[in-house]
Structure 1
Amino acid sequence: MKCQSACSAEKELSAETQRHPCYSFAGHKKYARMHIPVAPRCNLACNYCNRRFDCVNESRPGVTSEILTPQAALDKFSLVKKEIPNLSVVGIAGPGDSLADWEKTRKSIELIKARDEDTIICLSTNGLLLPELAPELLALGVKHVTVTVNSIDPKIGALIYRHVRYKDETLTGKEGAELLINNQLTGIKILSAHGVLVKVNIVMIKGVNDNHIQDVVKTVKELGASITNIMPLIPAPGSVFAHHEQTSNKDLEKMRQLCETDLPQMRHCQQCRADAIGLLHEDRSAEFSRSEPYPKKPDVSETYKIAVASKYGKRVDLHFGHATEFHIYRCGPDGFTLLEKRGVEQYCLGVEECGEEEERREIIIQSLADCDAVLTLRIGYHAQKRLLEQGILPVENCDKVNNGLLFTMKELAEKESA
């Protein structure tokens, strides 16, 4: 009977996981997710992080346009569920740490589970508080947990974390990193032993932990982790690693290939905002944001030409490397005029094409040489660098096109006055 019960639970979890776009490659184009930003506090200071809660103009982890109470999160969930029927997952990814604000996280889970028991609940955490809160997660029925583990060596961890805040004590250097690592690994072991699917995120930081990642993957495998997600560093403005070189897609894929002999690798991660909504490749969070729009008339005196990466011309919704055309706007004191839709060859075509990526990227940049700025959902380090060398300002944004253009004009004006 115990075997039958265990097998039944395993089949149920497997079926549920097929509806989780982060854990299931087959499901990531079919099922939508919603991140509820209810946990603003964090107990770590990571050198790659700079959390800006009120910014709708960035698309990266730790960013949100608003902080919600548990009740507001429930209300927003109900609204989104009506508009996006294929919503299958509600995740809590901060914008701080989901366990550092545990009371808000727990209440949000309870409210949403009571409203819709079929919705999958998952959360992301740095793992510092996992050993003590794992029993509560199990009691709540959470079956999918992501833990970010960037190192299992305190010496390397000390290069990534400025300090660790634990039980009213602030620890730095190897001491803080060692505590964090021990708690992360203990928490993963507890959750995995009780049937929770643990995904481990690893930020690949060139020259810091890149030669250590295989050790991390082997260790978390032994503890029961089911999948790892190796992500490139996104140099966040204002962070310690703001000017650190971003890991190339080629190096990232090489590392994934080395590690997939131990654990399956997630290759479709979009490094989502803390308030992301919709399919992984189509963030619709701005549609449901309460943020005030920019004024309709720009407060600038100059006229600029701006290229926008947009699928339908309504939202800034494409990565620079995924665009096959750019909407070219003339923007000035009197507003915006769409001049043309300029076709280009998509340069990011996957790992097999990485050798030709640089050449295609250069052709695209030259085709935009008459523009003052390029506005895109996200743009990689190397493309940013080449655009700046050509005198073109790269701008990341995830808003409506008009708001994005206004934001870009403001950035251009500030650059000229600096």
Structure 2
Amino acid sequence: MDRHHPSIDDHPCYSETAHHRFARIHLPVAPACNIQCHYCNRKYDCANESRPGVVSQVLKPEQAVKKALVVGAALPQLAVVGVAGPGDPLASPKRTLATFQRLAEQAPDLKLCLSTNGLGVLDHIDALLRYNITHVTLTINCLDPEIGAAIYPWILWRGKRIHGRTASEILIERQQRGLEQLIARGILVKVNSVLIPGVNDTHLPTVSQVIRAKGAFIHNIMPLIAEPEHGTYYGLTGQRGPTPEELKAVQAACAGDMRLMRHCQQCRADAVGTLDEDRRAEFELDRVESMTLTPELLEAARARRAAFRAQVDAEQHLFRRLRESRPRSGPHRPILMAVTAHKGRISGHFGQASEFLIYEVDESGIRMVGLRQTGRSCQGEAACGESADTLEPIIRALDGCEVVLCAKIGHAPWQLLVAAGIQPNSEHPGEPIEQACRAVWHEMQWRGPGTRSATVSKVA
């Protein structure tokens, strides 16, 4: 099934390609919540933690709208404005909808996005359509009320606090009806599910099957965050999060013709910037409120955003041309490539990378399939560890990859990569990831099976 949709081309959460290029802002206007989750502990004045439900401060709608406009004037790559908390947006409907109404009027080129537990969707779906909310994320962790009772101790429903299985039954029924109505109204739906070992891990493939059948566009299976210092019920009672292997296994069980989100950063409710570069510190409220936004400035900002989108569209057109070209010889098998990148372009020194984006490239296209965390071997120019002991854990983390693309790489890691059967390549600094990966794939096909190019043009 072709699950491409043009409205995701600049949405960083719905598109694994867009998340390197386009930015989003989350506006923290919704402090209240209508359910309690065992994995959640909302914080309204926290600057240090990076997880959902956390913000530095809650904003009034007028403050939030001005902040979005200021960010949109400073970042031409801004494409999406969302409300994701710190509570549930539809538990504070007046604040949330007032924010969206003003944004729809003042920044009509920006996509509007909402993230909700789904309990209040049916009550407000007409308003979501009225203010042009085009993308909604629903958090659906289960379809079984017994499992739900182990995740949600209570919900607020029609002015009463409901507990246990009854609460879970109401929530699940409202989520499923909300999902159906959103899709029927033409809103693109992403479903988030928190993977909780021993609670819903074996159940999530059933969830994925049901939401896929109902028309959800993408499924995001997120690992439980359960560190005790966050103060959640699960964290304080010893419930562990999944291992990377467990997460990968559940994602594999949920895969099929359902698009999976594998690049989620489990963002704060006041995040700003691309998914891999948080810039909220640049837009503190005092700075935002000191700025004057004139009609001329806002119009110029819209023009810069349009120009940025046009540039990305042109690059994507070039990529499609590359994809349509066919190699002269060699097997058309998929190849895994590890990439160091910044803002969607090949960037960075191999030894200074703390993570690698993993792409699968074949004749049909390029897909991001994972993210591998590593320790840095370099801690600055004067402290670059190039011993085998330092580098081997990084190379082990790249197991299965045939190519590493970076902007710079030293001689020692180059030798170790080649010895491990991985081709280092620093020939494409600054190029878009898709273009660089496709060019390397074509080169490997032209050279034929069993041959590798290990040219290093920028040895540092």
Instruction: With the length of structure 2 as denominator, give the TM-score of the two structures.
Output: 0.63
Which residue, out of 106, 113, 120, partners 2:104? Answer: 113
**Alpha-carbon distance, 1:222 to partner:** 2.1
Q: What secondary structure sits across from 1:202 in the alignment?
A: strand
Change (3 A) 1:350 1:117: farther
**Alpha-carbon distance, 1:264 to partner:** 1.0
Q: What secondary structure sits across from 2:57 in the alignment?
A: coil
Tell me which residue corresponds to 1:283: 278
Q: Deviations over 1:344-379 (max 9, x none)?
A: 5475957958xxxxxxxxxxxxxxxxxxxxxxxxxx
Tell me which residue corresponds to 2:85: 94
Tell me which residue corresponds to 1:248: 243
Q: What secondary structure sits across from 2:90 in the alignment?
A: coil
Q: What secondary structure sits across from 2:45 in the alignment?
A: coil
CA distance in 2, matches of 1:156, 1:100: 23
Tell me which residue corresponds to 1:74: 65
CA contact (8 A) 1:20 1:28 kept: yes
CA distance in 1, matches of 2:400, 2:246: 13
* Structure 2: runs of 5 or more not aligned: 288-346, 356-371, 402-460
Matched, 1:25 2:16: yes
Which residue, out of 226, 231, 241, partners 1:238? Answer: 231
Which residue, out of 269, 273, 298, partners 2:268? Answer: 273
Larger deviation, residues 119-128 vs 257-266: 257-266
Q: What pairs with 1:356-375 in structure 2 (closer than 5 Å)?
A: none
CA distance in 1, matches of 2:198, 2:153: 17
Tell me which residue corresponds to 2:175: 184
Tell me which residue corresponds to 1:139: 130
**Alpha-carbon distance, 1:291 to partner:** 8.7
Instruction: With the length of structure 1 as denominator, give the TM-score of the two structures.
Output: 0.69
Change (3 A) 1:327 1:65: farther
Amino acid at match of 1:95: P
How many pairs are equivalent?
311
Tell me which residue corresponds to 1:225: 216
**Alpha-carbon distance, 1:245 to partner:** 1.3
Q: What pairs with 1:3-402 in structure 2 (closer than 5 Å)?
A: 14-236=5-227, 237-242=230-235, 243-290=238-285, 321-325=373-377, 327=379, 345=391, 347=394, 349=397, 352=400
**Alpha-carbon distance, 1:14 to partner:** 3.2
CA distance in 1, matches of 2:195, 2:400: 20
CA contact (8 A) 1:165 1:171 kept: yes
CA distance in 1, matches of 2:79, 2:141: 28
Q: Deviations over 1:117-176 (max 9, x none)?
A: 010000100000111111211222111100000010000000001111111111111000
CA contact (8 A) 2:80 2:113 kept: yes
**Alpha-carbon distance, 1:263 to partner:** 1.3
**Alpha-carbon distance, 1:282 to partner:** 1.0
CA contact (8 A) 1:249 1:351 kept: no
**Alpha-carbon distance, 1:289 to partner:** 2.7
Tell me which residue corresponds to 2:304: none
Q: What secondary structure sits across from 2:250 in the alignment?
A: helix
Change (3 A) 1:284 1:148: same
CA distance in 2, matches of 1:241, 1:352: 34
CA contact (8 A) 1:65 1:289 kept: no
**Alpha-carbon distance, 1:342 to partner:** 6.0
Tell me which residue corresponds to 1:367: none
Amino acid at match of 2:373: G
Change (3 A) 1:102 1:109: same
Q: Deviations over 1:6-55 (max 9, x none)?
A: xxxxx9x9333211011111111010011000101001110001111111
Q: Deviations over 1:211-253 (max 9, x none)?
A: 1001111111222211100000001521111032111111111
Q: Deviations over 1:191-213 (max 9, x none)?
A: 10111111000000000000100
CA distance in 1, matches of 2:52, 2:257: 26
Q: What secondary structure sits across from 1:110 in the alignment?
A: helix
**Alpha-carbon distance, 1:325 to partner:** 4.6
**Which protein shows a greater Rg?**
2
Change (3 A) 1:54 1:267: same
CA contact (8 A) 2:354 2:376 kept: no
Larger deviation, residues 106-115 vs 226-235: 106-115
Task: Quote the RMSD (CA, aligned, Å).
Answer: 2.7
* Identity value in percent: 40
CA distance in 1, matches of 2:89, 2:54: 14
Q: Deviations over 1:286-327 (max 9, x none)?
A: 2223499xxxxxxxxxxxxxxxxxx99xxxx96793442575
CA contact (8 A) 2:271 2:280 kept: yes
CA distance in 2, matches of 1:64, 1:102: 19
Change (3 A) 1:62 1:70: same
